[in-house]
Structure 1
């Protein structure tokens, strides 16, 4: 299987909470998109872990082709 796996064709809207840690799935194998559920373990890929700098609504990429991870940049349209 070619990784990362395309996990969807539309971004997922997420309400981020300031100061909260998130782990964005980079492999596309997680059943908890757009977040990691540990499905990457048999691969070399690891989640992108970050802390939200402010509370805001963001659109998370699930096609895994974004050039602005973890956020959608419209790459799913290509």
Structure 2
């Protein structure tokens, strides 16, 4: 598997809605960060589906190196 593109070196805060599905971009090429826009097509990457259990703010990983996808775990600090 190839390395993902680093979209940015900080998390992206998103207000999520309980019960809604979100498709996190794992390749880093989406123009709709942190979510997938299909830019991964033709690559080894696939988006990650996440369903919000409750409404609130979540911090999605944008460096694409997190060990806890789709959320930021601070990995961007080491890149």
> TM-score with structure 2 length normalisation?
0.93
Runs of 4+ in 1 over 3 A off after TM superposition: none
For 2:76, what is the secondary structure of its paired residue?
helix
Unpaired stretches in structure 1, ≥5 consecutive residues = none
| Aligned residue runs from structure 1 range 51-62, under 5 A | 51-62=51-62
Q: Could you tell me how far 1:50 is from its partner in structure 2?
A: 1.7
C-alpha distance in structure 1 between counterparts of 2:16 and 2:6, whole Å: 23
- The residue aligned with 2:15 is 15
> How many equivalent pairs are there?
77
Q: Could you tell me how far 1:21 is from its partner in structure 2?
A: 0.7
> TM-score with structure 1 length normalisation?
0.94
- The residue aligned with 2:77 is 77
- The residue aligned with 2:6 is 6
Unpaired stretches in structure 2, ≥5 consecutive residues = none
* RMSD after superposition: 0.9
Superposed CA offset, 1:8-62 (max 9, x none): 0111000110000100000001011000000001102100012111111111100
For 2:14, what is the secondary structure of its paired residue?
strand
